[in-house]
Amino acid sequence: MFIDLVFVAAAYLLGSVSFAVVVSRVMRLPDPHSYGSGNPGSTNVLRTGNKTAAALTLLGDALKGFVAVWAALHFQTSLNLAAWVVPAVAFAVFLGHILPVFHRFKGGKGVATAAGIVFALHWPLALGLLAVWLIFAVGLKISSLAALVAALCMVAGMFYFFGNALISWTMVAITLLLIWRHKSNIERLLKGKEGKIRS
């Protein structure tokens, strides 16, 4: 039980590392909480005009989701981890991203971290979701709409590949939190005022 809880706690702490903040500090950019949407994510970092910083933020946030879940899967047998650990780790790393203890619980919206989680769980599904995101993001140039559509497709994909399993329901919870974090975007979408991705 102790090692199980260690994995979950470590996942939350890893998720709490905001790469938007870290990358911005290293590259001497403004704190992402201080401009644009105030969201510490790659889309907001892109508003500085620094595409490299935005790409590094996206990669970092996705990798922490991937690494946390991959590690739980990789060591599940050798360390005799409980069956609930992988779903708990997936939820914990996502929760850390949206409510990070290191940044006064002011985190991002979780799209990249959720993507990293899915890549660790089932990479073909993740590639399919990436294709969905690209179609909407490139076609309509609205990042939030692309993310929401991909998230809903993710739920369907999880139940298709994993069935009525705890990990599938965990991804439902993650999707609901992701939608909640996009509530202001949804309001703007309904009013036709949502901003578009810069070229």
- Indicate if the pLDDT at residue 199 is higher than 60: no
- Indicate if the pLDDT at residue 41 is higher than 70: yes
C-alpha span between 129 and 149 (Å, rounded) = 9
Per-residue pLDDT at 198:
62
Q: Is residue 197 part of a domain?
A: no
Which among 160, 62, 168, 46 is positioned nearest to 111, based on CA atoms?
62
Q: Is residue 180 part of a domain?
A: yes
Q: Is residue 198 part of a domain?
A: no
Give pTM, 2 decimals: 0.91
C-alpha span between 109 and 43 (Å, rounded) = 10
Predicted confidence (pLDDT) per residue in 44-61, tens digit: 887 887 788 888 999 999
Confidence of residue 9 (pLDDT cuts 50, 70, 90): very high
Q: Is residue 6 part of a domain?
A: yes
Number of domain units in the chain: 1
C-alpha span between 33 and 44 (Å, rounded) = 9
C-alpha span between 15 and 177 (Å, rounded) = 15
Q: Is residue 111 part of a domain?
A: yes
- Residue 162 sits at φ, ψ, to 5 deg, of -110, -10
Per-residue pLDDT at 159:
97
Per-residue pLDDT at 177:
95
Q: Which residues contact 98 (CB under 8 A, 6 or more apart)?
A: 107, 108, 109, 110, 177, 181
- Longest CA–CA separation in the chain, Å: 52
- Indicate if the pLDDT at residue 190 is higher than 90: no
Predicted confidence (pLDDT) per residue in 119-172, tens digit: 999 999 999 999 999 998 887 788 888 889 999 999 999 999 999 999 999 999
Tokens of residue 40, six digits: 């510490």
Q: Is residue 83 part of a domain?
A: yes
Q: Is residue 73 part of a domain?
A: yes
Predicted confidence (pLDDT) per residue in 72-130, tens digit: 999 999 999 999 999 999 999 999 999 999 888 888 889 999 999 999 999 999 999 99
Q: Is residue 106 part of a domain?
A: yes
Which among 10, 116, 14, 120 is positioned nearest to 74, based on CA atoms?
120
pLDDT above 90 covers what percent of the chain?
Answer: 58
| Domain span at 94 | 2-191
